[in-house]
Chains A and B, each alone.
Chain A
Amino acid sequence: AQKITQTQPGMFVQEKEAVTLDCTYDTSDQSYGLFWYKQPSSGEMIFLIYQGSYDEQNATEGRYSLNFQKARKSANLVISASQLGDSAMYFCAMREGLYGGFKTIFGAGTRLFVKA
């Protein structure tokens, strides 16, 4: 069965520093997609970054990068140059299958606090 594990309930980071949020996953499928979402206190889930299981390079989107280590089944999110607006809950998620799959499971989340 699929499983996503985020072991850091809360993280603190100083403004302008980089931070890594951990995510490990478990699946028996060879094809899957990994996602990171940000949820501010307002409630809306914001898509940040995606990594496909066959992608050879780590995904990057602006200040966000995904450190994908397939053999270790880890997909850590790295946020560079943290900003106060980055304070939010961050969810790692996985969808089995690359084409047309709908079922996405989420990890428990990590609450990030950015200090001025």
Chain B
Amino acid sequence: DTEVTQTPKHLVMGMTNKKSLKCEQHMGHRAMYWYKQKAKKPPELMFVYSYEKLSINESVPSRFSPECPNSSLLNLHLHALQPEDSALYLCASSQVRTSGRAINEQFFGPGTRLTVL
């Protein structure tokens, strides 16, 4: 299995709703990432988990709450979002290399297109 899956594919939510995005991989990767991508822009890193521990938080507002319940799953909990949070949210995973030729490419999921009304 060489894919990253994300659910849902599309999500429309109001500013008072609480929702969650889910990401799953079964490649044995121990690093997982959340990116936000606005239209016609490159992805922007939000969070990185390494061995199920939060490794990087790129000063993301607290209305986004990540969770890594196990080595295969990554969630992004959403609460009280703003319309400007509408974007494509991409999940990715990679090996964690500490020696050898560290290609360390990230495998991306298809993304969740989020619309906040």
Contact = CB atoms under 8 A, between A and B. Distances in A.
B103 A50 contact: yes
A102 B56 contact: yes
A104 B107 CA distance: 13
A21 B96 CA distance: 29
A107 B42 contact: yes
Nearest to A106: B42
Interface of B is mostly: loop
A46 B55 CA distance: 24
Contact of B45 (A91, A103, A109): A103
A28 to B, nearest CB: 19
Interface stretch (B68-76, B77-85, B109-117): B109-117
Interface size band for B: 20 to 34
Interface residues of A, number: 25
B107 to A, nearest CB: 7
Interface string A10-38: 00000000000000000000000101010
A84 interface: no
Contacts of B42: 91, 106-109
B104 interface: yes
B7 to A, nearest CB: 14
Contact of A100 (B88, B90, B97, B107): B97
B31 interface: yes
B98 interface: yes
B21 interface: no
A95 B31 CA distance: 14
Contact of A52 (B43, B101, B111): B101
Interface of A: 33, 35, 37, 42-47, 50, 52, 91, 95, 98-109
Pairs A-B, 6 closest by C-beta atoms: A106-B42, A45-B108, A43-B111, A47-B105, A44-B110, A102-B48
